[in-house]
Chain A
Amino acid sequence: NAGVTQTPKFQVLKTGQSMTLQCAQDMNHEYMSWYRQDPGMGLRLIHYSVGAGITDQGEVPNGYNVSRSTTEDFPLRLLSAAPSQTSVYFCASSYGSGNTIYFGEGSWLTVV
C-alpha cells in the first residue's frame, strides 16, 4: 500500500526560486496537511485541507501556497524560496481532524 507519497525526497533551491512539493494519498482521506519540521521543534502546520476545493492556513503559512483540486493530491508551492524555508516537509492525511494522521516520508529542502 502506497499511503502518503511525497516527491521530491531532496531538493536544493536558490533564494528566490519557486518550486512545488507534490503529495498524493491513496487512502481516500478527506483531510490533508503539510507540516515543516525544524531541529528541536515539533511539527508545525503550514496549510491544511478538509476536502477537495477547500484549503486553510495553519500556524506558519507565509511563503507557501496550496491547492486541493482532487481528494488525492495536495501540492505545496514555495513562491519565492528563502533560506528560512530550509526544512524537512511532511505531507499528511487522515479521515478527518481528530483522527490518526498518517505521514509521508518527507522532503528535505535546502535553500541557499
Chain B
Amino acid sequence: GESVGLHLPTLSVQEGDNSIINCAYSNSASDYFIWYKQESGKGPQFIIDIRSNMDKRQGQRVTVLLNKTVKHLSLQIAATQPGDSAVYFCAENSNNNDMRFGAGTRLTVKP
C-alpha cells in the first residue's frame, strides 16, 4: 500500500551547520504536506507546510522542498541550533483524506 517514510532515522549535525531531513512518499495523489517537530515528552508541533502546486516554501530558518517527480520532500534548517534537537516527521494528505505520518528522524545538534 501507499506509505510515507524517511530515508534516515537519525541525523547528527554541528551547531551552526545546515540540516537536511528527507522524506519519501509513494502516493502520487498526495497534494498537501506538513513537517512537524516533536520534542521529547511533547506533542508534534507544526513547522511548515506545502501544497503540491508549489515546489519550495520558506519560513523562518526553514525551507521545505517538494519534488513531485520522485515523490520526495525535504526540510532544510539553516544555522541549526541546540533547540532544534528533536524528532522531525513529515505528513501527507491526498484528496482530503486522513493525514498519514512518517516515523520520524531524530536530529541531534552537537555544540
Interface residues of A (CB under 8 A from B): 4, 33, 35, 40-45, 48, 58-59, 90, 96-98, 100-106
Assuming A41-B103, A42-B102, A45-B98, is B32 touching A98 (CB within 8 A)? yes
- Chain A: CB-nearest residue to B34: A100
**Which A residues are CB-close (under 8 A) to B102?**
42
Size category, B interface: 20 to 34
**B43 pairs with A42, CB closer than 8 A:** no
7 closest cross-chain pairs (CB), A and B: A42-B101, A98-B96, A103-B43, A43-B101, A97-B96, A105-B43, A103-B44
Q: Is B104 within 8 A of A42, CB to CB?
A: yes
A102 CA to B46 CA, complexed, in Å:
7
- Chain B residues positioned under 8 Å from A98 (CB to CB): 32, 93, 95-97
Please state if B97 and A97 are interface contacts (CB–CB under 8 Å): yes
Q: How far is the CA of A23 from the CA of B101 in the complex (A)?
A: 21
Residue in B closest to A6 when the chains form the complex, CB atoms = B43
CB distance from A24 to the nearest CB of B (A): 14
B5 nearest CB across to chain A (Å): 8
Residues in B with CB closer than 8 Å to A105 are: 42-43
Query: A42, A104, A105 — which one has the most chain B CB atoms within 10 A of its CB?
Result: A42
Q: Which residues of A contact B45 (CB under 8 A)?
A: 103
Q: Is the CB of B88 closer than 8 A to any CB of chain A?
A: no
B8 to chain A, nearest CB (A): 13
B10 to chain A, nearest CB (A): 12
Also in contact, A100 and B89, with CB within 8 A (given A48-B98, A58-B98): no
